A and B are shown apart, each in its own frame.
Chain A
Amino acid sequence: MLKSLRGEQPLPEIRIQDAAGNPLFHEGVEYSSPARGTWTIAHVSMLIPLAHQIFIGGDCCLRGVVLSAAEFGGLDRFSMVTVKEDDVCQNKIDEMYTEGITDILHKLPVLPPAVVVFANCIHEFMACDMDAIYRKLHERFPSVDFIPSSMNPTMRKAGMTPEERMRMQLYAALDMRTKDPKSVNIIGNVYARSPQCELVKWLTDGGYVVRDICTCSGYDEYKTMAESSVNIYTIPLMKKGAEALEKRLNQETLYMPVSFSYEEIESCLTKLAERFDLPVLRRPDGAPDFNLLEKEADDALARARQTAGDMAVTIDYAAVSRPLELARLLLEHGFHVARVYTDAIPPGDEQAFAWLKEHAPDLMLHSVVNFRCRFVPRGGTAEGRRVLAIGQKAAYLSGTNNFVNIVENGSLWGFNGICRLAQMIGEAALHESDVRGVVQIKAWGCRG
Chain B
Amino acid sequence: MKQVQRVLARYSSDLFGMCSSLYELGGLCVMHDASGCNSTYDTHDEPRWFDIDSMIYISALTESDAVMGNDDKLIDEIIEVAEAEHPNFIAIGGSPVPMMMGTDFEGIARVIEKRTGIPAFGIRSSGMHSYEAGAGQALAHLVDAFCLKTVPPGQSACRAEERKNVRDVRVNILGVTPLDFSVTGNAEGLVQFFEQNGCIVVSTWAMNNTLEQISQAGTADVNVVVSASGLLPAEKLRGAYGTQFVTGLPLGRKPSENLLDRIYEAAVVKKRTEWNTDVDAQPSEQYRAAAEGIPLPAGAALPPGALRTTRSENTARTDMQDSPSLYRTIAQVLASDPGQLVYIIGEPVFASSMRACLEQDYGARSVRIVCPLEETCGLLRECDLHTDEEDDFASAAGIADIIIADPIFRRILPRGKSVQFVDFPHEAYSGRLYRSGIPMFIGSRTL
Contacts and interface: CB of A to CB of B under 8 A. Distances in A.
Interface of A: 1-6, 9, 27-32, 34, 36, 40, 57-64, 66-67, 70-71, 75-76, 79-85, 87-88, 96, 99-100, 103-104, 107-108, 120-122, 124-126, 152-158, 369, 371-372, 374-375, 436, 440, 442
A286 B143 CA distance: 81
B329 interface: no
A88 B126 CA distance: 12
A36 B432 CA distance: 14
B69 interface: no
Nearest to A6: B53
Given A2-B53, A63-B13, A85-B128, A71 B24 contact: no
B93 to A, nearest CB: 10
A155 B36 CA distance: 12
B55 A30 contact: no
B312 interface: no
Interface size class of B (residues with CB under 8 A): 35 or more
B383 interface: no
19 contacts: A30-B57, A30-B59, A36-B43, A40-B39, A59-B128, A60-B33, A60-B37, A61-B127, A63-B431, A64-B44, A71-B433, A104-B6, A125-B66, A125-B100, A157-B63, A157-B64, A372-B84, A436-B50, A442-B43
A76 B411 CA distance: 9
A122 B99 CA distance: 10
B122 to A, nearest CB: 15
Interface string B107-133: 000000000000000000011111000
B61 A154 contact: yes
Given A59-B11, A67-B433, A88 B100 contact: yes
B20 to A, nearest CB: 13
A337 B50 CA distance: 26
A29 B81 contact: yes
Given A2-B24, A67-B431, A369-B35, A154 B97 contact: yes
Interface of B: 1, 3-7, 9-16, 24-26, 30, 33-40, 42-45, 49-50, 52-55, 57-64, 66, 77-78, 80-81, 84-85, 95-97, 99-100, 126-130, 210, 408, 411, 430-431, 433
A29 B4 contact: no
B26 A32 contact: no
A328 B13 CA distance: 45
A82 B3 contact: yes
Contacts of B64: 157-158
A59 to B, nearest CB: 4
A79 B95 CA distance: 21
Contacts of B1: 99-100, 103
Contact of A58 (B30, B81, B128): B128
A36 B36 CA distance: 11
A442 B433 CA distance: 12
